[in-house]
Structure 1
Amino acid sequence: MEIKEHIIQGVRIAELHSDNMLLGSVEEAVDLLGNMYYNQADAMVLYTEHIADAFFDLKTKVAGEILQKFSNYRMKLAIVGDFKQVSSKSLQDFIRESNKGRLIYFAETLEEALAQLVR
């Protein structure tokens, strides 16, 4: 895993890159959160290709369980991907509601993700 650090307005953001899946289970989320706390990150950016498909199928409840961990640890997360192609109405609603909050964001670009994480 490669971590690219961005510091914007005093917020330390870890942008994660990997050849492997980074987020597919609650256990992986907890490990990732621990790693980011160790690296003193305030927030992180993940790309959709590093997240298991089950996360985006809300019926599996994987997204809810994982995002609850981010909420519990108060770690901001931006997920970058092409969400214009989402056909699931429930996932569209979930993305829209998440983007209204202050912890979890879905963004089309890295620049948009970074801006959301420091707002």
Structure 2
Amino acid sequence: MSTLTKIHDVPVLMCPAEGELFGSERDALDCIGDAMYQGAQWVVVPAGRFDDTFFELRTRLAGEIIQKFVNYRMGLAVIGDISRHTEASSALRDFVRECNGGRQTWFLGDVEELRQRLSN
């Protein structure tokens, strides 16, 4: 069950580590709908909740899911260790770096990093 919390007065929907994998745009839309219903501005999804194809850029799944969050003006924080994916793909490393330079989608190690980012 996802829970709504506030980090520096920003409403954040925290998805649990256990649950169905995010493997399609429909999964993203379901999550966004839940977040909007609860009044969240950001959604935190543990990296382990994403199907491995999310981290294979050639599948376009990451782009499709992230685009849904952008379309609905909902921030997305992917939390956790994705090093096994970034070590295998320089394109993914570049993608993560580009996302982390923006204000919409972040790949972070833990919730503390999110706290720091949202305090700015």
TM-score normalised over the length of structure 1: 0.90
Q: Which runs of 5+ in 2 are unaligned?
A: none
User: What does residue range 55-66 of structure 1 map to in structure 2 within 5 Å?
Assistant: 55-66=54-65
For residue 35 of structure 1, what is the aligned residue in structure 2? Answer: 34
For residue 96 of structure 1, what is the aligned residue in structure 2? Answer: 97
Change (3 A) 1:22 1:115: farther
For residue 16 of structure 2, what is the aligned residue in structure 1? Answer: 17
Q: CA offsets, 1:47-105, max 9 Å, x none?
A: 01111111100000000011000000010011011134421100000000000000000
For residue 112 of structure 1, what is the aligned residue in structure 2? Answer: 113
User: What does residue range 68-83 of structure 1 map to in structure 2 within 5 Å?
Assistant: 68-83=67-82
Equivalent pairs counted in the alignment come to 118
CA distance in 2, matches of 1:84, 1:62: 18
TM-score normalised over the length of structure 2: 0.90
Name the SS for the 2:2 alignment partner. strand
For residue 3 of structure 2, what is the aligned residue in structure 1? Answer: 4
For residue 44 of structure 2, what is the aligned residue in structure 1? Answer: 45
CA-based RMSD:
1.5
Alpha-carbon distance, 1:114 to partner: 3.1
Q: Which runs of 5+ in 1 are unaligned?
A: none
Alpha-carbon distance, 1:44 to partner: 1.0
Aligned residues of 2:43 and 2:77 also touching (Cα < 8 A): yes
Alpha-carbon distance, 1:18 to partner: 4.8
CA distance in 2, matches of 1:51, 1:13: 19
1:115 partner amino acid:
Q
Alpha-carbon distance, 1:115 to partner: 2.6
Bigger Cα displacement from structure 2, 77-86 vs 33-42: 77-86
